[in-house]
Amino acid sequence: MNGLLNSFAAMMLFTAMLTGPLHVTRAMADDKLIKVSLQYAAFAPNAGGQITYGFRGLRNNREIAIFQNHYLTAGSEPLLGALYAWRFPICDESCMVHIHTQAGVGVTTAGPLVEFLWGTEIPVLPLALNGGTIRYVPMLRFDIASHWIATRSRLITWSYPFWIGVTLPF
């Protein structure tokens, strides 16, 4: 038990040492923080989930993204898309866990796209204990996304439950 407590204390000390130089003020976070996210895969109604690569960049609560879904195809190729989204923070950069929702529009190789997304970003190190997103500290990103694509013949919807990725704020 003592060993565990000592380990915890050491981790907190280490955290405190790191958070000093890396601390970011809320104003910096709100005005100038840039986030880049890489997404890999999401759950799906089949074993193995769906391989869906995503690359997203965020600044001033505006996000641009490109993605490729290997589960869905347009023609015989994996679905490819790009979008522009507006982010609405529910718990902003000053929170330990950043929670947001987004609405976006874009295009895919199957047709125009509308995206609704709910996301959570969690620092991989407990550095955020002092409050807020810290630059250069990676965050795990978990999204639930809903895509509405107007194809030539019909409107299709597709969900990305627990779309998993990593975010780097800087």
Which DSSP string corresponds to 88-142? EEEE-TTSSSEEEEEEEEEEESSSEEEEEEEEEEEESSGGGGGSS--TT--EEEE
Residue 136 as a binder of other proteins (CB under 8 A): the answer is no
Candidate segments 3-11, 36-44, 72-80, 123-131, binder of other proteins by CB under 8 A: 36-44
Assess 40 for contact with other proteins (CB under 8 A): no
127/145 Cα distance (integer angstroms): 28
CB of 161 to other proteins, least distance (A): 3
27 binds other proteins (CB under 8 A): no
Site for other proteins in 143-162 (CB under 8 A): 144, 146, 154, 156-157, 159, 161-162
Are 118 and 91 within 8 A, CB to CB? no
When asked if residue 88 is in the footprint of other proteins (CB under 8 A), the reply is yes
φ/ψ of residue 89, rounded to 5? -65, 135
Q: Closest Cα partner for 133 from 102, 88, 97?
A: 97
Q: How many Å apart are CA 14 and CA 125, to the nearest integer?
A: 11
Minimum distance, C-beta of residue 143 to other proteins, in the bound complex (Å): 9
Q: Which of 75, 78, 94, 83 lies closest to 31, judged by CA?
A: 94
Residue 97 or residue 124: which is nearer to other proteins going by CB? 97
Q: Which of 4, 20, 47, 152 binds other proteins (CB under 8 A)?
A: 47
99 binds other proteins (CB under 8 A): yes
- The residue ranges that bind other proteins (CB under 8 A) are 41-49, 88-90, 99, 101, 103, 116, 118, 144, 146, 154, 156-157, 159, 161-162
